[in-house]
Amino acid sequence: MDFKRANTDEQRAERRQQILRTAATMLTEMPVARLSLNELSRRVGLAKSNVLRYFESREAVLLDLLDAELWEWLGDLDRTLQPGDGSARDRGDRLAAALADSLVRRPVLCDLTSAHAGVLEHNVSAEVALQHKRATARAIAEQSRLMRRCLPELGPHDATSLVALTTLLTSASWPYSQPPEALLTAYATDPAVAAMRVDFTALLTQALAVTISGLLARQEDRPFGAAL
């Protein structure tokens, strides 16, 4: 694309969106660790210095992309997570499975989540960090609301805890489920070693189900109204 100088707020906003769309496309082809600002600039058709007019760093681009991916995922959850019948345990198990199934279909979100604390929140200014954390707080509130739609027994505090633990479990599980070529070869060579390969959906479903059961059990141990 032949980019000309963006002179209006509308043009600048479109330029930012083009950079974000290009970064999102790149992450369907490569992991976060391999996405460089030089290659992003080349694909957008701008000099790196011009990309830095719109985002102060590679990490700032990826934080904005994480926010966008997160809200797209929450939109999907809003359409699919519905109150169900059965015990709290049964509904918790179904919620765990639904969350894991929805996340495995969003590899870009999972990859960004796994790089969030260790990579994306570095090399950004306090202003960018503050904007991101405010957006994250809004997303946490929305996700907590969706959790309580399925499991009102959790209460606001534990629903928010479930949101945080879902993020942490996703961040920890995803890298293990994306082995490099050397490990794939090792798995193919030795069945005993292959048994160690991580299935992201299965692991996350089990971990979330156990987490939800634990939160529900702790609710039962609290005095009436203590979780409200």
What are the chain's domains? Answer: 1-55 (1.10.10.60), 58-221 (1.10.357.10)
Of 223, 211, 228, 221, whose CA–CA distance to 89 is shortest? 211
Q: Please report the pLDDT score of residue 39 as a whole number.
A: 96
Q: Residues near 2 by Cβ (< 8 Å), separated by ≥ 6? A: 45
Task: Give the chain's end-to-end CA distance (angstroms, integer).
Answer: 54
The chain-wide mean pLDDT, for the chain, equals: 92
- Report pTM: 0.89
Q: Residues near 81 by Cβ (< 8 Å), separated by ≥ 6? A: 95, 98, 146, 149, 150
Q: What sign for the dihedral angle of Cα 141, 102, 87, 206?
A: negative
Q: How far apart, in whole angstroms, are the C-alpha atoms of residue 228 and residue 218?
A: 13
Mean pLDDT (whole number) for 11-21: 92
Of 164, 140, 150, 165, whose CA–CA distance to 71 is shortest? 140
Both tokens assigned to 41: 């600039």
Of 64, 87, 79, whose CA–CA distance to 15 is shortest? 64
pLDDT in tens, 124-151: 999 999 999 999 999 999 999 999 999 9
Q: Please report the pLDDT score of residue 222 as a whole number.
A: 58
Q: How far apart, in whole angstroms, are the C-alpha atoms of residue 183 and residue 193?
A: 9
Encode burial over 62-97: b for 16+ CB neighbours within 10 A, e otherwise: bbbbbbbbbeebbeebeeebeeeeeebeebbbbbbb
Q: How far apart, in whole angstroms, are the C-alpha atoms of residue 214 and residue 151?
A: 13
